[in-house]
Structure 1
Amino acid sequence: PPDISKSVVAVNGVPLGTQDNLFCITGGEGTGKSNYVGAILAGALGEKRLPIEKTLGLEITPNPKGLAVLHYDTEQSEAQLHKNLGKTLRRASLTAVPEFCHSLYLASLSRKDRLNLIRESIDLFHHRHGGIHLVVIDGIADLIRSANDETESIAIVDELYRLAGIYNT
């Protein structure tokens, strides 16, 4: 049988997000999704597990090998992304962005270019850092023309599952 996927995000020992799988956070505007994402990213930046009060009750697997931590944002302004990254670093008790962490602003790109950049950079950072610990895409609906188009929606989910499987993230 295949190896059991390793947990990356858990609550009370119950895995929510595992390697080679997708974990989706949904909610209305202004409900704190970006803050939640920041807590997950903060936990993935350290060599040791952060206390759960810093990760909003989540148990985030630390990253002692310095594998790539990738954050793609398709929604926020560049200034807001920078502000959120600063909050994430403070939460992780870091003063600078680790060299393995890459937070990319995609809102200015076309939908097609966003997905191409994600594909190509995942491969680049996988090779540069010896693997990928975590990928966050804040706003996957912004990778397609219409979230109500079932064919297009299924295609993007299939592509993300494919990438998660290939890069074990």
Structure 2
Amino acid sequence: MKNELNLIMSNNLRIDEEKYKSILQYIKLNITEKYEFPQEIVHVGGVTIATLGNFSASTGKPKSKKTFNVSAIVASALSGKEVLKYKAELPPCKNRILYIDTEQSKCHCHKVLERILTLAGLPTDQENDRIQFFVLREYTPEQRRDIISWALHEEQNIGLVIIDGIRDLIHDINSPSESLNIINELMRWSSYYELHIHTVLHLNKGDDNTRGHVGTELNNKAETVLQVSKNMENGKISEVRAMHIRDKEFVPFAFMIGEDSLPHLVEDYQFKINKRDRVTSFVDMSEELHRTALEVTFSECNEFNGYQTLLDALKKGYDSIGYSRGRNTLVNLCKFLMEHKAIVKAGRTYSYNNSFHL
């Protein structure tokens, strides 16, 4: 039935009454049936950012190191190890990766593949049958989509697909119809083949919005959208945060490229926010920002003995994200955090509960 449905969808065939009744049985949701949650395959600090049957994206301005970030995800999926902050695990029956690059030459793509294998701790002097790398720079948008479609049909045990350059699968990035069609294609591919697709799209140069109508559709439909951006004071450092995410927000992290040309995690990195992003009340602050501030608050000590000691540490933590306030506000902030179980009190001792939710 699934093959028949896919044929109808791909060829725009008319559905007669008999086929319609059969399709209804496939698409109908029944309260008496049990449906499994999609398998989680990529995490950041215990937070799920990718599941089978869905798609996600990395976004950022040119030279923000988006491809380095994606390389870390793929390397973790190949090795099962944590790379940067990514911990990926593909099921045994879907442990292969398909990497599609639409922009770069074979020479540059070879460097990406070599980087991925090196990060994964795998040899670079022999082929690895768990990753297929296709270079589609010279093809038209229609040809690229056809090649991807055929590859998904022919390749076996694919669990993760990287499309570095979704913009190159369409002609007009601002076309509502083309944008909707390619996003629908991502949803169809990921669902039908029960895999995860992670794609890459640039941000606008003038702001932090994803480019064109396809960016709007991507934000609306993707499971997770990661934003990779350069540090304003140190261009060698790239910051990674959740722009949109269905799960709870993860604590942002940063990396920089070492002398070995590989991305390395920047330890104990403190994030700052732009003036336009500052909030006037801790109640309006995102969970992501609270987590960032609390990580700094408890970075030197797991727990504090005494209320004033806690307030002093909170001031330091929230100062680090640009939220500098006096004692009265900090007292109310502390009460707010305790009500939401972010800070737990036991006698005179205060500790951080990183599994809190706002």
Provide the TM-score with structure 1 as the length reference: 0.89
2:58 is matched with which residue? 25
Among 145, 148, 155, the alignment partner of 2:171 is 145
1:9 is matched with which residue? 42
Percent of aligned pairs sharing the same letter: 31
Among 97, 122, 127, the alignment partner of 2:127 is 97
**3-state SS, counterpart of residue 138 of structure 2:** coil
1:163 is matched with which residue? 189
Give 1:145 shift: 0.3
For residues 83-94 of structure 1, the aligned pairs below 5 Å read: 83-94=111-122
**Mapped partners of 2:151, 2:128: distance in 1:** 17
Q: Is the 8 A contact 2:77 2:87 kept in 1?
A: no
| Alignment RMSD | 1.4
Q: Is the 8 A contact 2:100 2:135 kept in 1?
A: yes
Give 1:62 shift: 4.5
**Mapped partners of 2:64, 2:57: distance in 1:** 15
Q: Which structure is richer in relative contact order (CA contacts within 8 A, separation 6 or more)? A: 1
Measured against aligned partners, the alpha-carbon deviations of 1:146-165 in whole angstroms (never above 9, x if no partner) come to 11111100100001100100
Give 1:97 shift: 3.5
Q: Is the 8 A contact 2:41 2:52 kept in 1?
A: yes
For residues 31-46 of structure 1, the aligned pairs below 5 Å read: 31-46=64-79
Q: Is the 8 A contact 1:44 1:63 kept in 2?
A: no
Q: Is the 8 A contact 2:75 2:117 kept in 1?
A: yes
2:102 is matched with which residue? 74
Aligned length: 160
Q: Is the 8 A contact 1:8 1:60 kept in 2?
A: yes
Gapped regions of structure 1 (runs ≥ 5): none
Give 1:66 shift: 6.6
**Paired AA for residue 141 in structure 1:** R
Give 1:71 shift: 0.2
**Mapped partners of 2:46, 2:160: distance in 1:** 18
Cα gap change, 1:162 to 1:66, in 2 (>3 Å): closer
**Mapped partners of 2:77, 2:60: distance in 1:** 22
Provide the TM-score with structure 2 as the length reference: 0.43
Give 1:60 shift: 1.1
**Mapped partners of 2:117, 2:108: distance in 1:** 14
Cα gap change, 1:144 to 1:119, in 2 (>3 Å): same
Give 1:119 shift: 0.3
**3-state SS, counterpart of residue 122 of structure 1:** helix
1:116 is matched with which residue? 146
Higher mean C-alpha deviation, range 10-19 or range 150-159: 10-19
Give 1:64 shift: 4.7
Where has structure 1 moved over 6 Å in runs of 4 or more? none
Matched, 1:58 2:86: yes
**Mapped partners of 2:76, 2:153: distance in 1:** 23
**Paired AA for residue 94 in structure 1:** L
Larger strand proportion of the pair: 2
**Paired AA for residue 133 in structure 2:** S
Question: Quick check: which has more Rg, 1 or 2?
Answer: 2
